[in-house]
Chains A and B, each alone.
Chain A
Amino acid sequence: MIELFHVYKSYIKGRPALADVTLSVEKGEFIFVVGPSGAGKTTLLKLLFCMEQPDDGQILIQGRNIAKLKSTSIPYLRRNIGFIFQDFKLLAHKTVFDNVALPLLVKGTNTSEIQKKVSEVLRMVRLDYKKEVFPPFLSGGEQQRVAIARAIINDPMVLLADEPTGNLDSASARDIFELLEMIHMRGTAMIIATHNTIIVNQMRKRVVGLVDGRIVNSERASTGSV
Chain B
Amino acid sequence: MRTFLFCLRTAVRNLKDHWLATWLTIATMAFSFLVCSFFLLVYLNLQSITQRLLEQVRVIVYLDENLSSKEVTLLQEKIRRENGIDQTVYISREEALNELKKDFIENSNIFKGLGEDLLPASFELKLDPDHQSVEAVTQLIERLKVIKGVQEVQYSKEWVADLNNFLKFLRIAGSGIGGVLILAVVILTGTTIRMVMQLRREEIEVMRLVGATASFIRLPFLLEGAMMGICSSGLALLLLSFLFQLVHARIATVGGFLLARLHFSFFPLAALPWFLVIGMVLGVVGSGLSVVRSLEI
Chain A residues within CB distance 8 Å of chain B: 49, 71-72, 74-79, 83, 89-91, 102-103, 105-108, 110-111, 150, 154
Contacts and interface: CB of A to CB of B under 8 A. Distances in A.
B156 to A, nearest CB: 67
B18 to A, nearest CB: 13
Given A71-B297, A74-B297, A107 B211 contact: yes
Contacts, number: 50
23 contacts: A49-B209, A71-B297, A74-B297, A75-B208, A75-B213, A75-B216, A75-B297, A76-B213, A78-B208, A78-B209, A79-B210, A79-B211, A83-B209, A89-B205, A90-B206, A91-B203, A91-B206, A102-B207, A102-B210, A103-B211, A105-B6, A108-B2, A150-B210
B3 interface: yes
Contacts of B210: 78-79, 102-103, 106, 150
Contacts of A75: 208, 211-214, 216, 297
Q: Which of B2, B3, B205, B210 has the most chain A CB atoms inside 10 A of its CB?
A: B210
B2 A110 contact: yes
B202 interface: yes
A180 B202 CA distance: 26
Contacts of B211: 75-79, 103, 106-107, 154
Contact of A106 (B205, B212, B297): B212
Interface of B: 2-3, 6, 202-203, 205-214, 216, 297
A109 B31 CA distance: 42
A178 B177 CA distance: 68
B165 to A, nearest CB: 55
A76 B211 CA distance: 6
Contacts of B208: 75, 78
Contacts of B206: 89-91, 102
Contacts of A90: 206
A48 B128 CA distance: 80
Contacts of A108: 2-3
A62 to B, nearest CB: 16
Contacts of A107: 211
Nearest to B203: A91
Contacts of B213: 72, 75-76, 106
Nearest to B212: A106
B214 A72 contact: yes
